Structure 1
Amino acid sequence: MMGSRRAPRPIGVLFTNLGTPDDTSVSAVRRYLAEFLSDRRVVDLNRALWLPILYGIILTFRPKNSAEGYRSVWTDEGSPLLVYAKRQAAGIQKRLDTEVERPVQVALGMRYGNPSIESGLRELDAAGCKQVLVCPAYPQYSATTVATTFDKVSEVLADWAEPPALRQINRYYDEPGYIAALANSVREHWAEHGRAERLVMSFHGIPKRYVKQGDPYPRDCGVTAQLLADELGLGRDEYKVCFQSRFGREPWLQPYLDETMKAWGARGVKTVDVMCPGFSADCLETLEEIKEENRGYFEEAGGESLRYIPALNDRDDHIDFLTGLIKRELSGWL
């Protein structure tokens, strides 16, 4: 008599992003910023110097202003980043359920805040996943984003008696499907609103010092920008790469977006389209910093219209690409 065949264990996918406060209260924003800015990958200053500044000054004053920013972008469903991340994870799960034979379980985990990376890993463990692919939703690699995600995964699993086998996705900045989805979003924006005088590709900045220490992030950004420009048929004078969201006094990657917007408005540029290819989902840095803050800089300096092209979010072509990327990285396990 032949023995019964055991059903295969599911494979886990931990889909991650940066994170968000639980709500828009000052206390919730303070908790989130404390976790974020305590990360040595994010701020690598000497702890004896940095922590008194963080807890004595920054977390005393910054949370109130940040909370106001979050209130300006918060939706009825909650934080935009978390809303879109949930939709992305659900879209990937739906496609995997129909496209692969072996069961695959997708769990969401944020590097800072909730749902946490630990909760996502425990969800996969409870589902019986002994093989896990970690998929950070960061197209370009940086130690401040991708590496700290892997740090946290390792920290959580350090105390487990039997950690799962792990694979990880480091980046996808030059993947054809990602570039095609970005180009589609720009073309659709132009078809609906017309084409502005300039197109800006704005990426989150990091300190120049990190690049000197070996972080390849600006290289990845430059390749993404060039591939997207080629896909759109743009000449070098028809687009510009900028960096946003700098923090503190030391030099960050340049040119700075805010200074560029002020200069262009003063020079007579009337219309600008801005997109953020490094953000897989809209969040405070896109919806408040671009659509509100930098639009204000541009228009106050003399510009007429700054138009933001939304992040890829839960677009079908974006979810199709992410699903295909995950399936490829799971080859062998599947």
Structure 2
Amino acid sequence: MGIRDELGKDLAAQAGPGGLQTVSATVIDVTADGLVNLTMRGATVYGVACADSYRNRRAGDTVAVRRGAIPVVLWRLGADPGDTDEDTIKALAQEIALDAQVVRAARWGTTEPAGAGWQGPMTLYMRTTSDGQVELYGQLTVQTEPPPPPTPPRTPSPVTVSATSSGSWRGGRPDDYASNPMQGDWTGSGNRRGAWFYGSQIADACAGKTVASMKVQFTRARGSGSNSKRPLHVYLHGYTAPPSGQLALGAGPEELLQLSVGATGTATLPASWRAALASGSARGLAIYASGRSDYMAVTDGRITITFS
């Protein structure tokens, strides 16, 4: 029986008939499959299910947990998130509106249009922009209405780049026994170093643009190392594809985030790393640690790039 089930039975027994049926807890991490790892009544509980009403789950949340043989997170405690949700919805709506065509309506016929303000073009020009939108420009015979101001340049949409391959290295060569990137050493057979490879995707996505930020998402795999929250030791590397020999590490390490077992997290890359990846002087990310303390396997590695 796992600690989650044991704690659940203990909480159920303490509640008693008509007793308090919920307790508060703190979220340590959110897992890739939407479960949460919690600290609750002095114990750490992994892989707790959540009600659908608990949305936008994140580490640090204080939550209400239903007591029972199997604990369930019911909702988050705290201030009304409505204002934050409103800002997010507005930003998404603006992005969708910019992606849509800006021409309100298109009509035609054999007679002149009804109503005021119409101007007849001498020549009509049209083109498709890099965003896939259609632009129209009418060269007028006589201008009777002032033209609208030029549309300001649009900030390029964010780009998410996924690794084309990944792996682990130990003893100066690829480690055939590791299916995911890993760091550290659990058995005394040698420290592992893992890496994600993106080809030239990152530099290609940044070409001709001003990069505002780069964020990477990692998920800590289950079944490797201790369950507690441990840091990832992240490095840059200069490979577009996995090397056949040792994986050489570049700038680093940076402890960008800490994850408990099964957890997913997102970290912002340092400005100098962002510049190196955008220019192509660095090509990807790696992890490396020594010994058992921070031993873990890590998946995902998606990088989201935003521009200004």
Which TM-score applies when normalising by structure 1?
Answer: 0.24
Q: TM-score, normalising length from structure 2? A: 0.26
Query: Which has the larger share of strand?
Result: 2
Tell me which protein shows more helix as a share of its residues.
1
Larger Rg: 2
